């Protein structure tokens, strides 16, 4: 690991200034992703600005009935919070499906939003990778790509977005609040992460000096009936091959509300708008669920290593909606 200097920011203003003044500085949340990347030499900040003392670790109800989550809330606390469990069960489940208990105890909401891909070629400095070294090529396209994306890909990069939490946030229409020395702005989840296009190294809408301060969840009656399904290679502690965050509202056999997003299959947390569109107003049947899933996966493009995800995602979407219909949210 390259030597760096460390500062602990006592308040938001200090943190913002520290990063604004130093283009080589990075915020440090739980460190579970950043420190690993520093060890591998992928991230080489000059300065690490520890933000874990900032007063951004609250979860509170908003006047409109929504919930505001501070950027420094640890993943375990988020998952366990009564408001989240009652109103947004899909978020609680998604967070618990990620990493391990030890990692979730450290990981923060802001860090989870900004965690970087697990593409093995990105992690290996001897390999070609457009994300790590723009213009160097993509090791994964002709190599191992079992974990890679089938949606939102480009000829430059097919890396999957690894987060579980973000998939639930996408389904819930969350809004990310960010702050810099220039002020505060709000970015909807749908535009927070960027597809790779020709610039896979640009991953989010954030400028390097912007701090995530909170995530806001709008009130949603649909969200109370929601669940997260993660398909993976072992029972726990593995990234998703495919994951589905789904919220469903059905009246008299007709879908009246739906929020759907996919993980593991896309370069960004994937809001499944086509499927949602196909479902709204349709009868709540296996047939509709399957058709919606097919509509969503229609533009997917697979490689020999990851083409299976297209069918796996169709099935996982259908099965998750079926389960929501018959069993509702998890207990």
Partner 1 sequence: MTSTPTAPTRTPSPVETGTGRSVGRPLDRVDGTAKTTGAARYAAEHPHPGLAHAALVHAAVTRGRITGIDAAGAEAVPGVLAVITHENAPAMKPPPPVSVLNLSSLASGSSVNYLNTDEVHWNGQPVAVVVAETPEAARHAAGLVRVSYRELPATVDFAAEEGNAVPQKSSALQSGGARKGDAEAALAAAPVSVDLRFTTPPYHHNAIEPHATTAVWDGDRLTVHEGTQNITWLRDHLALRFGVPVRNVRVVAPYVGGAFGGKTMVWAGTVLTVLAARVTGRPVRMALTREGVYRTVGGRTPSAQRVALGARADGTLTALIHTSVTQTGRTGGLPEQATSQSRHLYAAENILLRQNLVELDAVPNTPMRAPGESIGTFALESAVDELACALGLDPIELRMRNEPERNPVDGKRFAHRMLREAYALGAERFGWSGRTPEPGSMRDGGWLVGLGVASAYHPSWQMPANVTVRLSADGSVVVRCGFHEMGMGGATAQAQIAADALGVPFEAVRVEYGDSDLPSGPGAGGSAQTASVAASLLAACEKLKGSLLALARRSGGSPLRGRRPGDLEARDGGLWAGPAGPGETYAAILARAGRDSAEAAVGSDTRVGKVTGQLRFMSKLLRDRRRWVKAACGAHFCEVRVDPDTGEVRVSRWLGVFDVGRVVNAKMVASQLRGGIVMGIGMALSEETLVDPRNGRIMNPGLADYHVPVHADVPPIDVHCLDVPDPTMPLGLLGVGEVSVTGVAAAIANAVRHATGRRVRDLPVTPDKLL
Site mask, partner 1, residues 14-53, x = CB under 8 A? ---------------------------x------------
Q: Are 275 and 295 in contact (CB under 8 A)?
A: yes
Given the DSSP bridges, would you call strands 254-263 and 242-251 parallel, antiparallel or unpaired? antiparallel
CA distance 123 to 162: 14
CA distance 101 to 158: 29
Query: Among 197, 311, 325, 330, which residue interacts with partner 1 (rule: CB under 8 A)?
Result: 311
- Which phi-psi region, left, alpha or beta, contains residue 327 (left: φ > 0; alpha: ψ -120 to 50)? alpha
- Cross-strand partners of 259: 247
Site for ligand FAD contains 145 (CB under 6 A): no
CB atoms within 10 A of CB 127: 18
- Scanning 26-34, 184-192, 249-257, 286-294 for contacts with ligand FAD by CB under 6 A, the matching segment is 26-34
Query: Among 114, 157, 206, 275, which residue interacts with ligand SF4 (rule: CB under 6 A)?
Result: 157
Query: Among 52, 108, 130, 320, which residue interacts with ligand SF4 (rule: CB under 6 A)?
Result: 130
Which of the listed partners (partner 1, ligand FAD, ligand SF4, none) does 131 bind, with a CB threshold of 5 to 8 Å by partner kind? ligand SF4
- Cross-strand partners of 60: 68
- Scanning 27-35, 59-67, 125-133, 311-319 for contacts with ligand FAD by CB under 6 A, the matching segment is 27-35
CA distance 116 to 122: 9
Site for ligand FAD contains 32 (CB under 6 A): yes
CA distance 288 to 138: 38
User: Three-state DSSP class for 119?
Assistant: coil
CA distance 202 to 135: 13
- Scanning 42-50, 101-109, 154-162, 318-326 for contacts with ligand SF4 by CB under 6 A, the matching segment is 154-162
Site for ligand SF4 contains 306 (CB under 6 A): no
Query: Among 127, 129, 260, 292, which residue interacts with partner 1 (rule: CB under 8 A)?
Result: 127
Query: Total number of residues binding ligand SF4 (CB under 6 A)?
Result: 14
- Cross-strand partners of 43: none
Query: Among 316, 321, 324, 329, which residue interacts with partner 1 (rule: CB under 8 A)?
Result: 316
Q: Burial-class residue 6 by CB neighbours within 10 Å (0-12, 13-18, 19+).
A: exposed
- Residue 36 C-beta: closest distance to ligand SF4, Å: 15
Helix (H) or strand (E) holding 140: none
Altogether, the residues listed in the chain come to a count of: 331
- Scanning 30-38, 93-101, 124-132, 286-294 for contacts with ligand SF4 by CB under 6 A, the matching segment is 124-132
Rg, the chain, Cα only: 19
Give contact residues for partner 1 (rule: CB under 8 A).
1-3, 41, 118, 120-121, 124, 126-127, 139, 142-144, 146, 231-238, 241-242, 308-309, 311-312, 315-316, 318-319
Give contact residues for ligand SF4 (rule: CB under 6 A).
117, 119, 121-122, 129-131, 138-140, 157-159, 200
Give contact residues for ligand FAD (rule: CB under 6 A).
26-34, 36, 51, 71, 98-99, 103, 106-108, 110-112, 114-115, 162-165, 211-212, 239
């Amino acid at each position: 690991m390259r030597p760096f200097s460390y500062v602990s920011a006592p308040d938001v203003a200090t943190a913002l200034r520290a990063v604004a003044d130093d283009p080589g500085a990075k915020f440090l949340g739980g460190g579970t992703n950043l420190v690993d990347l520093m060890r591998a030499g992928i991230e080489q900040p000059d300065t690490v600005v520890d933000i874990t003392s900032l007063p951004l670790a609250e979860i509170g109800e908003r006047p409109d009935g929504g919930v505001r989550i501070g950027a420094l809330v640890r993943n375990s606390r988020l998952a366990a919070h009564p408001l989240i469990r009652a109103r947004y069960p899909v978020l609680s489940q998604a967070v618990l499906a990620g990493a391990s208990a030890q990692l979730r105890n450290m990981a923060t909401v802001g860090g989870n939003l900004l965690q970087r891909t697990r593409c093995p070629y990105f992690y290996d400095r001897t390999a070609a990778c457009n994300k790590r070294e723009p213009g160097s090529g993509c090791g994964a396209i002709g190599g191992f790509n079992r974990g890679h994306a089938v949606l939102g890909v480009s000829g430059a990069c097919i890396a999957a977005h690894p987060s579980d939490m973000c998939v639930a946030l996408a389904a819930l229409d969350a809004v990310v609040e960010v702050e810099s020395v220039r002020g505060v702005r709000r970015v909807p989840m749908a535009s927070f992460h960027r597809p790779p296009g020709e610039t896979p190294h640009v991953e989010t809408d954030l400028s390097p000096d912007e701090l995530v301060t909170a995530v806001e969840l709008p009130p949603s009656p649909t969200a109370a009936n929601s669940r997260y399904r993660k398909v993976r290679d072992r029972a726990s502690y593995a990234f998703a091959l495919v994951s589905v965050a789904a919220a469903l509202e059905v009246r008299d056999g007709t879908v009246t509300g739906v929020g759907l997003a996919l993980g593991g299959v896309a370069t960004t947390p994937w809001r499944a708008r086509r499927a949602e569109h196909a479902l709204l107003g349709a009868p709540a049947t296996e047939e509709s669920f399957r058709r919606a899933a097919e509509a969503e996966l229609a533009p997917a493009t697979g490689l020999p290593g990851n083409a299976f995800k297209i069918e796996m995602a169709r099935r996982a979407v259908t099965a998750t909606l079926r389960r929501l219909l018959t069993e509702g949210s998890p207990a």
